[in-house]
Amino acid sequence: MALRTPPSWLQNGSHTAENDRLTTTGSLWGASGIIRSADLAVSAATGMNVSVAAGWAAILGTYQTNMGTYMAYNDAAATATITTADPSNPRIDLVCITVNDAAYTGSLNSVAINVVKGTAASSPTVPSTPTNSIALAQVAVAAGATSISSGNITDVRVRAQIIEPTVSSAASTAVPLRIVLNSGQTANAMQIISSAGTVLNGFDSNGNLLGGSVNVASLEYEFIMGAY
């Protein structure tokens, strides 16, 4: 396709869900994943069940290009069932969260937690992550198993990546920056770090500059503070 028109959220425009998803993908999300560290964590439950914790995920549509990023929210722990174990060989199953969108394929319009059953073998391999999905955990299912323990679960979640802003400064132009807590200082101290991992400057808990290679007075920042 060519230039998408109307642009997002034009007052008198008509906007598709796809264009809205592309807006957040182009301006916010750099890669799919969970949002906070505890989101959608998989743990053992009773018998052949596992539990998927509450939380958010950003899931890039992969049926075709230009689908954008879907936001999914699980508001309470959900149960997923591991199917009966093979009597002779182990296998590895994959717990995923999947978006179904009938605008592109199939008949469902939903988001679901599903378990991709692996192939039983003497040396089993991990099944592929389905289209329009992110993987949450691998589950080792032993031959003849009747229950799943925490030791059978391998966490494979990744955090969604936010696109780093590009900020001009007196020392350099187009410097991608991120703001992090300064572990060497007390609460509220911050460091400014380049995409290469170089500490450019920072503030201690009293607001004093910590020094570095960028003149912070020449930069403009928007700080969004929160508990993570």
Specify whether 25 is located in the same domain as 70: yes
Q: Span 186-207, mean pLDDT?
A: 62
Q: What is the dihedral of CA 20, 69, 42, 84, to 10 degrees?
A: 110
Strands 49-52 and 42-44: antiparallel
Look up the domain containing 184 and give its range.
164-218
Specify whether 133 is located in the same domain as 93: yes
Specify whether 80 is located in the same domain as 154: yes
According to DSSP, the residues that pair with 58 across neighbouring strands are 33, 71
Give me the number of domains the chain comprises: 2
**pLDDT for the residue 152:** 98
In angstroms, the CA 91 to CA 144 distance is 11
Task: Decide if 30 is inside a domain.
Answer: yes
Q: Span 142-154, mean pLDDT?
A: 97
Specify whether 26 is located in the same domain as 131: yes
* Domain finish residue from 127, 145, 161: 161
What pTM value is reported for the model? 0.71
Task: Decide if 106 is inside a domain.
Answer: yes
Q: Span 90-95, mean pLDDT?
A: 98
Q: For residue 190, what are the CA distances in angstroms to 91, 135, 168, 225?
A: 46, 33, 19, 11
Specify whether 38 is located in the same domain as 65: yes
Specify whether 180 is located in the same domain as 140: no
Specify whether 27 is located in the same domain as 131: yes
Of 89, 88, 57, residue with least CA distance to 70: 57
In angstroms, the CA 16 to CA 22 distance is 10
Task: Decide if 6 is inside a domain.
Answer: no
* Domain finish residue from 133, 161, 189: 161
Specify whether 113 is located in the same domain as 151: yes
Task: Decide if 7 is inside a domain.
Answer: no
Specify whether 54 is located in the same domain as 123: yes
Its sign, for the CA torsion 21, 24, 29, 35, is: negative
| Greater pLDDT, 22 or 171 | 22
In this prediction, what percent of the chain has a pLDDT beyond 70?
Answer: 71
* Pair of tokens at residue 81: 């069932």
Q: What is the pLDDT of residues 114-141, one digit of tens each?
A: 999 999 999 999 999 999 999 999 999 9
Task: Decide if 95 is inside a domain.
Answer: yes
Task: Decide if 123 is inside a domain.
Answer: yes
Which residues contact residue 187 at a Cβ distance below 8 angstroms, ignoring those fewer than 6 apart? 205
Q: What is the pLDDT of residues 197-220, one digit of tens each?
A: 666 666 665 656 665 544 444 444
Angle at CA of residue 98, ends 95 and 102, nearest 5°: 155
